[in-house]
Amino acid sequence: MKILKFGGTSVGSAQRIKGLLDIVDPKERQIVVLSAVAGTTNALVEISQAFLAGKRETAIELIKTHKNKYEHLIKELFQTEQGQEKGKNLIDYHFNYISSLGNEMFTPVEEKITLAQGELLSTTLFHFHLEEIGVPSVLLPALDFMKIDEDNEPIVEYIAEKLSNLISIHGSNQLFITQGYICRNSFGEIDNLRRGGSDYTASLIGAAIQADEVQIWTDIDGMHNNDPRVVKNTSPIANLSFDEAAELAYFGAKILHPQSVFPAQKYNVPVRLLNTMDPQATGTLISKEGGTTGQIRAIAAKDDITAIHIHSSRMLLAYGFLRKIFEIFERYKTPIDMITTSEVAVSLTIDDTRNLGDIIKEVEDFGRVSVDHNQTIVCVVGDFSANTHGYAARVLDAVKHLPLRMVSYGGSDYNVSMVLDTEHKTEALRSLHNRLF
């Protein structure tokens, strides 16, 4: 079975929703994972923020504006009176529900329920559209099988069991539709897999049911060798290994959710990145065999990084020092992205700053601490294994005119990463592109 995931722009209008059938073959057994219609999750974030801030009128105004967009979409999507009515009832239900959540105390629990409405809407609209044109499909509620634990880690065994049961109930059906992004947490509450999480849903489903292939359909022809939003003349990469793709996704290539490669890699399910706007384009195939040796493959950048520098003479010749530092971050469930050390100092980066104040207070027991905000990690992915030489030098040479805060080499065979002030990011990406490709 194949998993086909379509992102926000791929379901961004009535025309696009209808156009899905140019790619989805209803006679083939498959699971279609949909994101919310483009712009919806951003709007739901805005609505939630207004409610959280006690600005009820602003929230209601935003709800009205957004509902209006859906009213237009429905007019174009459905041909029959019955279809129109079903569509209208659907959007009334979801937008009234969001409004009603703001009547009582609006907490992060209500926020997550609000954020889930986008994917619930898009999948039901597609299902109703198929129904109207006589194509059989089954809507699988992601909230019945997609689950994360207390550390926000997906529980693949649970997903596999629940999903297999749901699928087996509909033994003869070919086309299944489900929501990306949304899930339940360890309390059974509605939660999500973080922004861009529909990719993660698709690869988790692919892993759980040992799919033949996961296809991520988006608005670009595969993983490019640099960020196309920043650099001109980037080009798609035909093949990547899981490790290379994971580094690129983790370090900022927006085309893939940061964690989405891991389940596919663990269960060896190939992932194809394809372009909804140009279905014939080759795209990128991510697989076990996709890597190449002796090449620099791609560059990515991750913004909103905070760098923490800890200087301590107690570190000199001491053991257990790093463990004590790491334990603080672990206690605050704050992942460390990058780390560099010297005999008396350690620098590390985080992107989740929710507990920064408390973390710093505790780290200060160990030495002098300084913090730099607005940093960017630039990551160059390629063959940096110990038996290659000259590649790291080429990378550093390309950014020799820029002030580097940290450099990490040797952590994996696939990347060289550096941290610099975000104001230098564009220049770093362009200069690396011009010199490396």
Annotated binding-site positions for substrate:
41, 119
Quick check: 160 binds ligand ADP (CB under 6 A)? no
Quick check: 196 binds ligand ASP (CB under 6 A)? yes
- CA trace torsion 217, 220, 427, 421 (10° rounding): -20
Quick check: 228 binds ligand ADP (CB under 6 A)? yes
* Spatial CA neighbour of 341 closest among 366, 312, 363, 368: 312
Residue 267 to residue 270: CA distance in whole angstroms: 9
Report yes or no: 228 and 176 within 8 Å, Cβ to Cβ: no
Amino acid identity, position 380: V
**Residue 189: strand, helix, or coil:** coil
Quick check: 180 binds ligand ASP (CB under 6 A)? yes
Q: Which of 111, 119, 191, 227 binds ligand ADP (CB under 6 A)?
A: 227
Quick check: 270 binds ligand ASP (CB under 6 A)? no
Minimum distance, C-beta of residue 427 to ligand ASP, in the bound complex (Å):
29
In the list Mg ion, ligand ADP, ligand ASP, none, the entry touching 275 (Cβ below 5 to 8 angstroms by class) is: none
Span near ligand ASP by CB under 6 A; candidates 34-42, 96-104, 160-168, 308-316: 34-42
Report yes or no: 126 and 177 within 8 Å, Cβ to Cβ: yes
**Residue 220: strand, helix, or coil:** coil
Q: What are the respective helix, strand and coil percentages of the chain, to the nearest 5?
A: 40, 25, 35
| Burial zone of 23 (CB within 10 Å; 0-12 exposed, 13-18 middle, 19+ buried) | middle
Span near ligand ASP by CB under 6 A; candidates 78-86, 190-198, 285-293, 368-376: 190-198
Residue 215 to residue 96: CA distance in whole angstroms: 34
In the list ligand ASP, ligand ADP, Mg ion, none, the entry touching 227 (Cβ below 5 to 8 angstroms by class) is: ligand ADP
Quick check: 381 binds ligand ADP (CB under 6 A)? no
Quick check: 196 binds Mg ion (CB under 5 A)? yes
Quick check: 196 binds ligand ADP (CB under 6 A)? yes
Quick check: 432 binds ligand ADP (CB under 6 A)? no
In the list ligand ADP, ligand ASP, Mg ion, none, the entry touching 215 (Cβ below 5 to 8 angstroms by class) is: none
274 vs 398, which CB is nearer to ligand ADP?
A: 274
Report yes or no: 166 and 145 within 8 Å, Cβ to Cβ: yes
Span near ligand ASP by CB under 6 A; candidates 193-201, 204-212, 314-322, 353-361: 193-201
Residues 236-275 contacting ligand ADP, CB under 6 A: 253-255
Side-chain-side CA neighbours of 265 within 13 Å: the count stands at 14
Quick check: 260 binds ligand ASP (CB under 6 A)? no
Residue 214 to residue 164: CA distance in whole angstroms: 17
Quick check: 24 binds ligand ADP (CB under 6 A)? no
Report yes or no: 146 and 183 within 8 Å, Cβ to Cβ: yes
| Contact letters for Mg ion, residues 137-176 (x by CB under 5 A) | ----------------------------------------
Q: Which of 195, 309, 324, 394 binds ligand ASP (CB under 6 A)?
A: 195
Q: Which residues pair with 301 in a beta bridge?
A: 378
220 vs 378, which CB is nearer to ligand ADP?
A: 220
Residues 6+ apart with CB under 8 A from 229: 254
Quick check: 7 binds ligand ASP (CB under 6 A)? yes
Distance of CA 321 to the CA centre of its chain: 34
Quick check: 206 binds ligand ADP (CB under 6 A)? no
Quick check: 41 binds ligand ASP (CB under 6 A)? yes
Residue set of the binding site: 5-8, 41, 119, 218-219, 229
Residues 113-132 contacting ligand ASP, CB under 6 A: 118
Instruction: Tell me 148's DSSP state.
Output: B
* Spatial CA neighbour of 8 closest among 118, 99, 85: 118
Quick check: 8 binds ligand ASP (CB under 6 A)? yes
Minimum distance, C-beta of residue 196 to ligand ADP, in the bound complex (Å):
5
Residues 6+ apart with CB under 8 A from 4: 23, 24, 30, 31, 32, 33, 202, 215, 217
Residues forming contacts to ligand ASP in the complex (CB under 6 A) are 7-8, 35-36, 41, 118, 180-181, 195-198
Residues forming contacts to Mg ion in the complex (CB under 5 A) are 7, 196
Residues forming contacts to ligand ADP in the complex (CB under 6 A) are 7-10, 35, 196, 218-220, 223-224, 227-229, 253-255, 300
